[in-house]
Chains A and B, each alone.
Chain A
Amino acid sequence: MDTSPTREITILPGRNRRGEPERFEAITIRPGDTISIVGPTGSGKSALINDIEVFARNDTATGRTVLVNGEFPPEEFVRDPAYKPVALITQNTRCLADLTVAEFLAMHVRSRKIADDGIVERTIALANEFTGEEIRAGARMTALSGGQTRSLLVADAVLIAAAPVLLLDEVENAGIFKERVIEVLRAGGKAVIFVTHDPLVSLLSARRIVMRDGGVERVIEPLDRENEALREALRLDGILHRMREEIRAGNLITGPVGA
Chain B
Amino acid sequence: MKLAVVAGPPSAGKTAVVRQTIRSLLDRHRIVYLKIDVVRAFEDEELAAEFGIPVRKVYSGDLCPDHAGVMVMRDAIAWAEREGADLLLVESAGLCLRCSPYTTQGLGIVVLSAVSGTNTPLKMAAMLALADIAVVTRIDLVSQAEKEVFRERIREVNPDLDIVETNAVQGTGMRYLLRAIEEYPQITDPDTIVLRGAPPLGVCTVCIGKTEIGWQHHFGVVRRLEDADYLFRGD
Residues of chain A touching chain B, judged by Cβ–Cβ distance below 8 Å, are: 50, 54, 56-57, 59-61, 75, 78-82, 84, 87-90, 92-93, 95-99, 104-105, 107-108, 110-112, 153, 156-157, 160-161, 163
Contacts and interface: CB of A to CB of B under 8 A. Distances in A.
B176 A79 contact: yes
Contacts of A161: 144-145, 148
A163 B1 CA distance: 43
Contact of A96 (B115, B140, B163, B171): B115
Interface of A is mostly: loop
Contacts of B118: 96-99
A52 B145 CA distance: 17
A82 B117 contact: no
A188 B100 CA distance: 47
Contact of A89 (B115, B116, B144, B151): B144
B138 to A, nearest CB: 10
Given A60-B172, A107-B152, A96 B145 contact: no
Given A81-B144, A99-B118, A104 B149 contact: yes
12 contacts: A59-B172, A79-B164, A79-B176, A90-B142, A93-B143, A96-B115, A96-B118, A97-B149, A107-B152, A108-B152, A156-B145, A157-B145
Nearest to A46: B140
Interface in B130-164: 140-153, 155, 163-164
B66 interface: no
A108 B148 contact: yes
Interface in B157-211: 163-165, 167, 170-176
A75 B148 CA distance: 16
Given A96-B117, A107-B152, A110-B152, A163 B146 contact: no
Interface residues of B, number: 31
Nearest to B173: A54
Interface of B: 115-119, 140-153, 155, 163-165, 167, 170-176
Contacts of A104: 145, 149
A95 B143 contact: yes
Nearest to A112: B148
Contact of A79 (B117, B144, B150, B163): B163
A163 B142 CA distance: 16
A111 B151 contact: yes
Contact of B144 (A61, A97, A99, A163): A163
Nearest to B150: A97
Contacts of B164: 79
A81 B115 CA distance: 17
Contact of B170 (A60, A79, A99): A60
Contacts of A81: 144, 147-148, 151, 165
Contact of A78 (B115, B167, B173): B173
Residue among A50, A96, A153, A157 with max Cβ neighbours from chain B (10 Å): A96
Contacts of B165: 79, 81
Given A79-B163, A90-B141, A96-B142, A111 B148 contact: yes
B135 to A, nearest CB: 12
A101 B151 CA distance: 17
A52 to B, nearest CB: 12
A83 to B, nearest CB: 11
